[in-house]
Amino acid sequence: MLKTSDIERLFLTELNNFNIKDSGYDCVNGNKYIELRNLIFEVDKPYIFDIKVDKERMDDEWYVKYYEPRINHQFPGVINYLINNPNTRRAVLSLNQENEIYDPNGYVCTMYMHIFLDKVNDNEYDIEYSVHMRSNEVSDFMTDIKWHNKILNKIISLLQEKRNWKINKKNIIWFVDSFQVYEKNFEKIQCK
């Protein structure tokens, strides 16, 4: 399986080969970008490129405002699924809301998260957490990972509250349909 360092290499290859796209409109991030599509990789470090941004576009306040209201009410159901059947494939936290698909201000990038438990022995499980992204900007990846670790830690804590289980973090698997680096960061990633 690919790792975050592999994704870094793929972006640099695209940039070195001048595979640069034009969004055709003035989006928040700029017109020119490099895009990788349909990626699956294991998160082995909390960034793709160590890009320092002046201010995180999606800081904690943004996530609390836009993401928490979408998932907080789903935690009890997900925890019940996992407790009643640790082998379930139904432990999903969904952020996508159908009525927002055509609202440019409301359509979130993270579509859903899927949680799996693998039994190690009695009362001990490994947890795997997969994130499914519609769109992801490399400079926001570090913030996304930080946020998803908070969600994963909450799930572990809720499981341990309900059951006397030892939960081992196994890994975070990242699925992204469109992963981008925008022109404003081309110079920063070329220095890597």
Of 51-65, 133-147, 151-165, which one has max mean pLDDT?
151-165
75-84 and 138-162 are packed helices; what angle lies between their axes, rounded to 10 degrees? 60
CA distance 155 to 157: 5
Measured between alpha carbons, how far is residue 80 from residues 91, 119, 148 in Å?
9, 17, 20
Q: Rounded to the nearest 5 degrees, what angle is found at the Cα of 79, between the Cα atoms of 45 and 142?
A: 20
Of 65-69, 106-110, 148-152, which one has max mean pLDDT?
148-152
Name which of 141, 119, 129 is nearest 53 in CA terms: 141
**Where does the pLDDT of residue 65 fall: very low under 50, low under 70, confident under 90, or very high at 90 and above?**
confident
**At 51, phi and psi to the nearest 5?**
-90, 120
The percent of residues above 70 in pLDDT, for the chain, comes to: 86
- Summarize the confidence of residues 23-27 as an average pLDDT: 62
Name which of 51, 55, 29, 33 is nearest 188 in CA terms: 51
pLDDT at 55 over 70: no
**Where does the pLDDT of residue 71 fall: very low under 50, low under 70, confident under 90, or very high at 90 and above?**
very high
Does the predicted model carry a pTM greater than 0.85? Answer: yes
- Summarize the confidence of residues 31-36 as an average pLDDT: 90
- pLDDT at site 67: 84
- Summarize the confidence of residues 16-38 as an average pLDDT: 80
**Average pLDDT over all residues of the chain:** 88
**Where does the pLDDT of residue 125 fall: very low under 50, low under 70, confident under 90, or very high at 90 and above?**
very high
CA distance 116 to 87: 7
Measured between alpha carbons, how far is residue 1 from residues 35, 94, 117 in Å?
20, 25, 19
What are 95-115's pLDDT values in tens digits? 877 666 555 556 688 999 999
- pLDDT at site 27: 61
